[in-house]
Structure 1
């Protein structure tokens, strides 16, 4: 279990846990929570949660949280494994050590290589 304190407009960036599902309970404030279903639908499931609300993130799906209230927010999260793992999407794609080729990423994201170079620079590459 973990306590998460969110600053105003604070975000837990999109990530996933390859070996665990997660359940989030809002203790204080208002959070937007969401996840994206798997292929081929890739459907966004999102909800604004208030104090006492609970949200489940299925194992292996990309998910996020954002403080949408006027002040701080607090939540408690529990994971279904002692070793859930965590993969932060942006860090993994744009900050890998060694870098993924900008040719591959430019095609995957359908943008110019300059955009990829800029993104990689933000993550120290």
Structure 2
């Protein structure tokens, strides 16, 4: 889908390998909690035939930057039970919701911003 995305998510029990079969994808993953307290983004624009590996447990994404062309990719996971956690759904769409105080402090924003984010239908709003 043009401008389609697979939003930031993680697979806690598997590494993922992705091959682009058609079109272009902007992909990446973020390391976390490094010794120097950094969170480094590793990202690349992939074209037909390119391959990218997303390490187990790291937050990653795929995005089609084209306005007029679909992208097709094949992904494989190193486990038959990889798990999948979509970050926005987990953080802002949990039932019951995570406390506004906790999220406002974690994201360093006002509670009204958290209320607005929690009111979104994340499971239907990420395409």
TM-score (norm 1): 0.92
Residue 99 of structure 1 deviates from its aligned partner by 0.5
Q: Which residue of 1 aligns with 2:110?
A: 112
Q: Which residue of 1 aligns with 2:44?
A: 47
Q: Which residue of 2 aligns with 1:91?
A: 89
- The separation in 1 between residues aligned to 2:15 and 2:57, in whole angstroms, is 7
- The separation in 2 between residues aligned to 1:94 and 1:117, in whole angstroms, is 9
Deviation per CA, 1:56-94, whole angstroms, max 9, x where unpaired? 000000000000234001000000000000000000000
Please state whether the residue corresponding to 2:88 is helix, strand or coil. Answer: helix
Aligned match of 1:76 in 69, 74, 77?
74
Residue 41 of structure 1 deviates from its aligned partner by 1.9
List alignment gaps of at least 5 residues for structure 2: 123-127
> Following superposition, which runs of at least 4 residues in structure 1 exceed 2 angstroms of deviation?
none
TM-score (norm 2): 0.90
Any residues of structure 2 matched to 1:25-40 within 5 Å, and which? 25-39=19-33, 40=37
List alignment gaps of at least 5 residues for structure 1: 1-6
Aligned match of 2:61 in 52, 64, 70?
64
Aligned match of 1:8 in 2, 24, 41?
2
Aligned length: 118
Aligned match of 2:11 in 17, 21, 24?
17
